[in-house]
Structure 1
Amino acid sequence: MRLPDEFAERARDIAAGRVVPVHARDAATVVILRDGPEVYLLRRKATMAFAAGAYVFPGGSVDPRDTDHAVAWAGPSPAEWGEVFNADEKTARGLVCAAVRETFEESGVLLAGPGPDSVVEDTTGDDWEADRIALIDRSLAFADFLDRRGLVLRSDLLRPWAHWITPEIETKRFDTRFFVAALPYGQRTRDVGGEADVVLWQRPSETLELAHKGEIFLMPPTYATLTELAAHDSVAAVLAESREIVTIMPRVAEIDGEVRLIV
Structure 2
Amino acid sequence: MTQPADEVPVREAATVVLLRNGVDGVEAWLLTRVTQMAFAAGMTVFPGGRVDPSDASLPLAGGDVALLAARFGCDEPTAHALLGAAVRETFEETGVLLSVPVADLSDARADVERGLVSFGDLLRANDLAIDAHALYPWSRWITPAGEARRYDTRFFVGALPEAAEAQDVTTEASAAAWVAVRAAIEEAQRGERKMLPPTLATLASLVEFDTVAEVVAASAERRLDPVRPQVRVGDDGSVAVELPDGSFVPVPRSMFR
Could you tell me how far apart the structure 2 residues matched to 1:224 and 1:243 are?
Answer: 14
Deviation at 1:161, TM superposition (A): 0.4
Letter in 2 for 1:246: D
Letter in 2 for 1:189: A
Q: How does 1:1-263 map to 2 (within 5 A)?
A: 19-36=5-22, 37-68=26-57, 71-114=58-101, 119-120=102-103, 122-123=104-105, 128-129=106-107, 131-241=108-218, 242-253=221-232, 260-263=240-243
Deviation at 1:136, TM superposition (A): 1.9
Could you tell me how far apart the structure 2 residues matched to 1:60 and 1:50 are?
Answer: 10
Letter in 2 for 1:57: F
Deviations, residues 83-125 of structure 1 (Å, cap 9, x unaligned): 12110111111100000000000001111023xxxx22x34xx
Cα RMSD after superposing both structures: 2.0
Q: Give the secondary-structure state (helix, strand or coil) at the position aligned to 2:177.
A: strand
Q: Residues 202 and 253 (structure 1 numbering): CA distance in 2 closer, same or farther, change over 3 Å?
A: closer
Q: Based on CA coordinates, which of the two structures has the bigger radius of gyration?
A: 1
Q: Matched residue pairs, number? A: 236
Deviation at 1:249, TM superposition (A): 1.4
Conserved? CA contact 1:105–1:133, under 8 Å: yes
Deviations, residues 60-104 of structure 1 (Å, cap 9, x unaligned): 011111111xx3221114322211211011111110000000000
Letter in 1 for 2:226: T
Q: Give the secondary-structure state (helix, strand or coil) at the position aligned to 1:192.
A: coil
Could you tell me how far apart the structure 1 residues matched to 2:131 and 2:189 are?
Answer: 36
Could you tell me how far apart the structure 2 residues matched to 1:79 and 1:105 are?
Answer: 27
Could you tell me how far apart the structure 2 residues matched to 1:260 and 1:98 are?
Answer: 29
Q: Taking every aligned residue pair, what percent have the same amino acid on both sides?
A: 44
Could you tell me how far apart the structure 2 residues matched to 1:154 and 1:262 are?
Answer: 35
Conserved? CA contact 1:167–1:173, under 8 Å: yes
Length-normalised TM-score, structure 1: 0.84
Structure 2 gaps of 5+ residues are 244-257
Letter in 2 for 1:212: Q
Deviations, residues 190-246 of structure 1 (Å, cap 9, x unaligned): 111310010010111000101111111111000000001111110110000021211
Could you tell me how far apart the structure 1 residues matched to 2:7 and 2:20 are?
Answer: 38
Q: Residues 54 and 254 (structure 1 numbering): CA distance in 2 closer, same or farther, change over 3 Å?
A: closer
Moved over 6 A (4+): 255-259
Could you tell me how far apart the structure 2 residues matched to 1:58 and 1:256 are?
Answer: 35
Conserved? CA contact 1:21–1:169, under 8 Å: no
